[in-house]
Amino acid sequence: MFRHRASLGPVDLAFTDRFGGVSVVPYDELNLALEGGDDVRCRAENHRLVMDAFAPTDELVDLRQVHGAVVDVVEEPVDPDAFDGRPGADGVVTAMAGLTLMVRAADCVPVLLADPGAGVIGAAHSGRPGLVAGIVPATVARMRDLGAVEISAWIGPYVCGACYEVPAALQDEVAAVVPESRSTTSWGTPALDIGAGVRAQLGALGIVATDLAACTRESSDLYSYRRDGERSGRHAGLIRLRP
């Protein structure tokens, strides 16, 4: 269920893999996607299983992700029934205990952030458009608004720079904004390393990230849209402040 799980002071965090859920082939097993072809009851049960294992008493705060730079600042409990009406966002921050923040991905970079001393946490989903739009720096800025100073960061599984092939023009476009993202595939064609890009954005803010260094495309333990297309599920990053 958990590819990686850690605690730092009052902060718990985890990244899921594809095991321990109830979805059947090709979404097997722990598909946490909001949408797609998988049975809605399986997806709901998978979310219940993850929350049972991670934080049974917490309320889940997730996002309608749209590859933008909007960050939700959660300052009161979220009404789960109002989810569909919420605007899209790719980052979320809170200083409230008892909420589990979730970001979903299948090749994009899931980023978890925390200042355990200040009691401020955040999560962001940064694919290629999010990297260019600066969703991770925007999430850090909202955390600092809430009083975060010493921020730690964790980068979950994403498609690596040796696997993420893009047209040369697109590579140039992204590298013009984040030069560190320029990469080459293992077969010698233009590529992007979106994780290196996120690490560079965090580094410019004085934040050193722990990178799981797991490639979604290369590991069948993880979901990959690049590998499986519409038959791919989603894994997730989770972070919470213990009450």
Residue number with CB closer to Zn ion (130 or 195)? 195
Residue number with CB closer to Zn ion (133 or 191)? 191
Q: Tell the smallest beta-carbon distance from residue 217 to Zn ion (Å).
A: 5
Q: Which of residues 147-176 bind Zn ion (CB under 5 A)?
A: 160, 162-163
Residue number with CB closer to Zn ion (118 or 185)? 185
Distance CA 199, CA 186 (A): 21
Q: Which of these segments, 35-43, 50-58, 166-174, 213-221, binds Zn ion (CB under 5 A)? A: 213-221
Q: Which of residues 58-97 bind Zn ion (CB under 5 A)?
A: none
Of the residues 215, 236, 239, 241, which one makes contact with Zn ion according to CB under 5 A = 215
Residue number with CB closer to Zn ion (140 or 214)? 214
Of the residues 28, 45, 173, 218, which one makes contact with Zn ion according to CB under 5 A = 218
Q: Is residue 185 a contact residue for Zn ion (CB under 5 A)?
A: no
- Chain residues binding Zn ion by CB under 5 A are 160, 162-163, 215, 217-218
